[in-house]
């Protein structure tokens, strides 16, 4: 009987948390639309989506890591490295420079994944170390100076900066990544196992799933997508720099938790991250309209991460908070 | 009237001597009455023994005494005063403390820090700890157990036996911290000890007798006779006997612990089938240090082998090794004559072994997934279409098993978290049946499963055995082991001590087995 009554209570409270991101998004949209009629104009929305595409791609990678119950702090530095690699190699390799940049992301993700699983180092520390590593390497190879794509090579960036029927290519590219990651999450063994590991690693392991392999693969995926977001960024900015992805790391985590993916793992998904990105767009615009000091916007995101996690975390699953 | 006053006066004399008085304590858990109306008294300077099978309620009572559980009913008096114990702190304040079966010392702290963990205020001034004072006090406590070590030694550097002595010293420190003579609970203290270490422990415990009262829990009855003044026997959550140790003997205790009838067809004995001739699984000289030794046996097609043993018998370890959850030190396991790669769950699963673990919520199921994803966790191939997961196929599979196993659920998409223990267990069994395993390793399969659902599980085990699936079973009670098994192996201290045939018409009696277990 007690199970039955608990059952009746449970879905309600869960549903509220489930729908909160969507409700927040709608409320924000309405507030924005009232505050500035310009906000909902197609040209404005188009601009906002273009700007947010790189963040979405990075956030999609982070989603899988957070679904595992882990965290990746090295994504923005990997993206910055990718901008540098792309910008440096375009003169000699052309389009192939972008491939190399993405391959770097595969490599960087593999390294963190292996350090995390084989040396059994918590993801927080493994990726914190990687963050330091790639930031430093980025400054060294770029000699701490921004690299610009020469005017003669600018045509190599058009696949990102061009448009089809007036819609920027970068939006199509980010949408494609969204759909691919959605399929990975919902329809592959990898997607299922990532959620199962996040929800119950011991039981998943006792069921014969090779935990380390799937964890490593998740880091490879997030590293790859971070590098791809760096590629998009590099093409849009027609250059590369160790500082190009500054501020993105916190936002990449913010979009995942704002969407309602639980930091404790197992619950959430990439579509929630899309909602998270849209909320961030609305917040960014809102803060700019309200004249919030741009430097202070970081502080707002810091607070928002904590608030979102406080609302979505399932405390019954965590006995000791470290 | 006159008579009543006499009794009253007598009662008063006795209570002055009684330091711990447990009166009619009951505790219920879902599906099991862990303690029913249990009473127990411990007198000043007395060593009492507490014996009973696994699940008899000993641990529950101990946990109530140190505040880990709250009783549903009953009262506890310490030195004549009724008390409520809500935490370990409440217990230590009246001088009640336990030396744990698994050691509870923090290995990274020093001996003195461990002894006074939680009592630092006695040594602190303006928030600063006076280490010198703590040092000399710790030395005094260590002297009580005749231990001459530097209190500033990190605990991880000590042997287990020494750590246990330190734990004992820690409990004895309550003497000074509370001004009471401690009531010391020793929960299976000899499990990790060598023979010489055991003798030393007993010597120290006896020496402490004139400044403490001691509750001694052990599966080794010889130890009970060696150490205790009185002994309480628990069975099925009830206190069935209270004896003066010197007036009792081992076989009397055995009888009291197990004397239970197996009623009719509870375990579906009538449906017990004969095992086939083919050996499905053979185990040769399986070893793991401090767990089990030279374990060998053969499991036949459709056979149910039950392992009977108490804590420390090694039966759980053997089963977990076969399931691939733990890696043995040495030994060979063969499945259909092919050697099994040890220490890998996926190898065991590929070889056709399904493990139903004791800790269902942790190892059996992913509680935060629904039934379908749990069933397909070991093998998703049956629900993949064109290399992509078909949610439709998975839901159909879930519905199939919900019907086949009569799983009671609000719907196929409900999280396993929301199912009852019995229904969760059916999901675990479905998971392995869907993966077409040939051998089940059942580690306490009816734990936390209510009575009705237990019978369904028994029915199912019989049915599957009839279809040629084989089982290794660690049951919750001796009766369950006997009732379900074709063959029973008793284990003691990591070794198989005897093999019993258990055909339905000629089941061994619990008393026959317990002799080889304790």
Question: DSSP readout, A211-257?
Answer: HHHHHHHHHHHHHHHHHHHHHHHHHHHTEE-TTTTTTHHHHHHHHHH
pLDDT, residue A322, reads: 60
Nearest CA in chain B to A265: B368
How many residues are there in chain B?
518
Which residues of B touch chain A, with CB atoms under 8 Å apart?
Answer: 323, 325, 345-346, 348-350, 355, 357, 362-369, 373, 376-378, 380, 384, 388-389, 391, 410, 414, 418-420, 431
Q: In what order do the strands lie in the sheet with B279-288?
A: B292-300, B279-288, B330-335, B338-339
User: Closest by alpha carbon to A86, among A15, A159, A168?
Assistant: A159
User: CA of B19 to nearest chain A CA: how many angstroms apart?
Assistant: 35
Query: Within an 8 Å CB–CB cutoff, is residue A192 touching chain B?
Result: yes
Q: Residue B65 is encoded by which pair of tokens?
A: 């005494």
Ranges assigned E (strand) in B149-258: 183-187, 213-217, 230-235, 238-244
Say if A5 falls within a structural domain.
no
Helix (H) or strand (E) holding A309: helix A294-312
Interface size between A and B, measured as CB pairs under 8 A: 79
Q: Would you call A186 an interface residue with chain B, using a CB distance cutoff of 8 Å?
A: yes
Question: Chain A residues with CB inside 8 Å of B389's CB?
Answer: 186-189, 191-192
Q: Which backbone phi and psi does B148 adopt, to 5 degrees?
A: -110, 80
| pLDDT, tens digit (0-9, with 9 covering 90-100), for B324-342 | 999 999 999 999 989 999 9
What global pTM score does this model have? 0.82
Q: What is the residue-averaged pLDDT of chain B?
A: 88
| Interface list for A 165-184 with B (CB within 8 A) | 183
Q: How confident is the model at residue B448 (pLDDT cuts 50, 70, 90)?
A: confident
Task: Say yes or no to pLDDT of A216 above 80.
Answer: yes
Taking 50 as the threshold, does the pLDDT of residue A164 lie above it?
yes
* Nearest residue in A to B409, CA atom: A4
Q: Which among A182, A196, A198, A203 is the top mutation candidate for probing chain B, defined by the most B β-carbons within 10 Å of its own β-carbon?
A: A203
What's the first-to-final CA gap in chain B, in angstroms? 49
Domain that holds residue A57: 13-315
Structural domain count of chain A = 1
Asked if B420 lies within 8 A of A3 by C-beta distance, the reply is: yes
Count of beta carbons in the 10 Å neighbourhood of residue A287: 16
Q: Compare A274 and A41 and report the one with higher pLDDT.
A: A274
Angular region, B139: left φ>0, alpha ψ -120 to 50, beta rest: alpha
User: Confidence band (pLDDT; 50, 70, 90) for A56?
Assistant: very high
Q: How far is CA A289 from CA A248, A280, B89, in A?
A: 21, 14, 56
Residue B1 has pLDDT above 50, yes or no: no
* List of chain B residues whose C-beta atoms are within 8 Å of the C-beta of residue A317: 368
CB contact, 8 Å: A199 with chain B? yes
Measured over the CA atoms of residue A189, residue A192, residue A194 and residue A200, the dihedral's sign is negative
Neighbouring C-beta atoms of residue B23, cutoff 10 Å: 15
Q: What pLDDT score was predicted for residue A319?
A: 60
A320 domain residue, yes or no:
no
pLDDT score recorded for residue A317? 64
Residue A157 belongs to a domain:
yes
Closest residue in A to B365 (Cα–Cα): A203
H/E stretch holding B330 reads strand B330-335
* Angstroms from A202 CA to nearest CA on chain B: 5
What is the DSSP secondary structure assignment for residue A320, as one 8-state letter? S
pLDDT for residue A83 is more than 90: yes
Q: Is residue A7 over pLDDT 50?
A: no
Of residues A161 and A290, more confidence is placed in A161
CATH class of B13-258: alpha beta
Position with higher pLDDT, A278 vs B194: A278
**Which part of chain B has CATH 3.40.50.300?**
13-258, 264-352+438-452+467-518
Chain CA centroid to CA B407, Å:
28
Q: Is residue A6 part of a domain?
A: no
* In a domain? residue A174: yes
Lowest mean pLDDT among A183-197, B21-35, B287-301: B21-35
The topology under which CATH files domain B264-352+438-452+467-518 is: Rossmann fold (3.40.50)
Query: Is the ipTM of this structure higher than 0.90?
Result: no
Tokens standing for residue B407: 């799983």
| Confidence bin at B470 (pLDDT 50/70/90) | very high
d(CA B276, CA A150): 80
A187 and B325 within 8 Å at the Cβ level: the answer is: no
- Specify the CATH number for the domain of residue A69: 1.10.3470
| pLDDT confidence of residue A310 | 83
Looking at chain A, the whole-number percentage of residues with pLDDT higher than 70 is 92
- Tell me the pLDDT of chain A averaged across its residues: 89
Q: In 3D, which of A230, A264, A258, A16 has the Cα closest to residue A106?
A: A230
* d(C-alpha B369, C-alpha B388), whole Å: 19
Q: Is the pLDDT of residue B16 over 80?
A: no
**pLDDT value at residue B260:** 58
Q: Which of residues 240-299 of A touch B (CB under 8 A)?
A: 266-267
A188 with B389: Cβ contact below 8 A: yes
pLDDT tens digits for range A16-38: 667 888 888 888 888 888 887 78
User: Does the distance separating the beta carbons of A200 and B369 come in below 8 Å?
Assistant: yes
Q: Which range, of A149-153, B53-57, B363-367, averages the lowest pLDDT?
A: B53-57
Residue keyed to tokens 């069921």 = A207
Cβ burial of A190 (10 Å; 0-12, 13-18, 19+) is middle
Confidence check: pLDDT of B455 > 70: yes
Measured distance CA(A65)–CA(A75) in Å, rounded: 11
Determine the Cα angle at B326 with ends B320 and B330, to 5°. 100
Q: Which of A79-88, A312-321, B138-147 has the lowest mean pLDDT?
A: A312-321
Higher-confidence residue of A249 and B29: namely A249
Q: Which of B320, B369, B381, B448 to mutate to test the interface with A (most CBs of A within 10 A)?
A: B369
A194 falls in which pLDDT band (50, 70, 90)? very high
The pLDDT of residue B2 = 43
pLDDT digits (tens, 9 = 90+) for B78-119: 998 999 999 988 998 999 999 876 677 888 999 999 999 888
């Amino acid at each position: 009987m007690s199970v039955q009554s608990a059952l009746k209570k449970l879905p309600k409270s869960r549903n509220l948390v489930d729908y909160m991101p969507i409700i927040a998004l709608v409320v924000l949209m309405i507030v924005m639309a009232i505050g500035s009629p310009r906000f909902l104009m197609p040209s404005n929305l188009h601009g906002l989506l273009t700007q947010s595409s790189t963040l979405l791609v990075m956030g999609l990678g982070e989603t899988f890591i957070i679904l595992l119950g882990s965290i990746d702090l090295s994504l923005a530095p990997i993206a910055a490295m990718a901008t540098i690699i792309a910008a440096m190699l375009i003169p000699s390799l052309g389009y192939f420079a972008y491939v190399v940049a993405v391959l770097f992301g595969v490599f960087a993700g593999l390294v963190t994944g292996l350090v995390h699983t084989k040396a059994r180092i918590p993801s927080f520390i493994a990726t914190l170390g990687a963050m330091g590593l790639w930031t430093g390497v980025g400054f060294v190879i770029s000699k701490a100076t921004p690299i610009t794509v020469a005017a003669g090579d600018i045509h190599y960036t058009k696949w990102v900066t061009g448009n089809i029927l007036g819609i920027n290519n970068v939006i199509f590219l980010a949408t494609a990544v969204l759909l691919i990651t959605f399929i990975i999450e919902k329809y592959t063994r990898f997607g299922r196992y990532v959620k199962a590991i996040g929800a119950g690693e011991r039981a998943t392991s006792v069921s014969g799933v090779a935990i380390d392999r799937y964890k490593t693969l998740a880091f490879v995926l997030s590293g790859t997508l971070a590098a791809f977001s760096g590629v998009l960024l590099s093409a849009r900015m027609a250059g590369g720099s160790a500082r190009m992805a500054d501020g993105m790391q916190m936002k990449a985590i913010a979009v995942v938790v704002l969407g309602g993916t639980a930091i404790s793992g197992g619950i959430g998904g990439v579509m929630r991250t899309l909602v998270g990105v849209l909320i961030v767009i609305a917040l960014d615009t809102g803060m700019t309209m309200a004249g919030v000091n741009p430097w202070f916007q970081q502080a707002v995101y810091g607070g928002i991460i904590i608030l979102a996690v406080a609302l979505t975390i399932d405390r019954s699953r965590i006995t000791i908070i470290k | 009237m006159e008579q009543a006053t006499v009794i009253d006066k007598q009662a008063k004399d006795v209570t002055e001597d009684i330091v711990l008085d447990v009166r009619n304590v009951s505790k219920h858990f879902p599906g099991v009455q862990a303690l029913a109306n249990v009473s127990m008294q411990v007198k000043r300077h007395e060593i009492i023994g507490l014996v009973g099978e696994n699940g008899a309620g000993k641990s529950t009572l101990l946990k109530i005494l140190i505040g880990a559980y709250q009783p549903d009913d009953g009262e506890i008096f310490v030195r004549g005063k009724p008390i409520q114990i809500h935490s370990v702190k409440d217990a230590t304040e009246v001088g009640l403390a336990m030396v744990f079966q698994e050691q509870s010392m923090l290995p990274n702290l020093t001996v003195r820090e461990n002894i006074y963990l939680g009592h630092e205020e006695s040594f602190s001034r303006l928030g600063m700890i006076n280490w010198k004072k703590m040092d000399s006090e710790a030395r005094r406590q260590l002297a009580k157990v005749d231990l001459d070590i530097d209190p500033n030694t990190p605990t991880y550097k000590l042997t287990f036996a020494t750590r246990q002595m330190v734990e004992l010293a820690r409990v004895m420190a309550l003497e000074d911290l509370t001004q009471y003579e401690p009531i010391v609970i020793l929960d299976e203290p000899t499990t990790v000890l060598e023979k010489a270490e055991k003798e030393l422990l007993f010597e120290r415990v006896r020496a402490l007798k004139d400044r403490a009262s001691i509750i001694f829990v052990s599966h080794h009855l010889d130890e009970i006779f060696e150490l205790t003044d009185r002994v309480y026997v628990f069975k099925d959550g009830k206190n069935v006997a209270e004896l003066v140790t010197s007036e009792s003997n081992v076989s009397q205790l055995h009888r009291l612990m197990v004397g239970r009838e197996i009623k009719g067809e509870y375990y579906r004995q009538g449906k017990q089938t004969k095992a086939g001739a083919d050996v499905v699984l053979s185990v040769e000289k399986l070893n793991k240090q401090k767990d089990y030794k030279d374990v060998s046996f053969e499991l036949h097609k459709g056979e149910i082998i039950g392992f009977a043993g108490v804590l420390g018998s090694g039966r759980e370890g053997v089963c977990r090794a076969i399931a691939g959850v733990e890696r043995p030190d040495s030994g060979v396991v063969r499945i259909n004559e092919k050697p099994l790669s040890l220490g890998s769950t996926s190898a065991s699963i590929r070889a056709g072994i399904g493990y139903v673990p004791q800790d269902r919520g942790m190892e059996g199921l992913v509680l935060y997934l629904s039934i379908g994803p749990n069933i397909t966790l070991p093998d998703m191939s049956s629900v993949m279409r064109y290399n992509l997961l078909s949610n439709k196929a998975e839901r159909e599979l879930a519905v199939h098993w919900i019907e086949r196993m009569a799983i009671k659920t609000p719907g196929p998409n409900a999280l396993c978290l929301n199912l009852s223990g019995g229904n969760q267990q059916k999901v675990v069994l479905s998971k392995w049946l869907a993966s077409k395993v040939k051998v089940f390793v059942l580690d306490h399969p009816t734990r936390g499963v209510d009575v009705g659902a237990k019978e369904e599980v028994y029915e199912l085990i019989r049915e599957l055995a009839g279809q040629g699936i084989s089982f290794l079973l660690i049951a919750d009670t001796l009766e369950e082991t006997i009732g379900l098994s074709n063959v029973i192996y008793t284990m003691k201290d990591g070794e198989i001590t005897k093999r019993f045939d258990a055909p339905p018409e000629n089941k061994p009696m619990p008393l026959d087995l317990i002799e080889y277990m304790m």
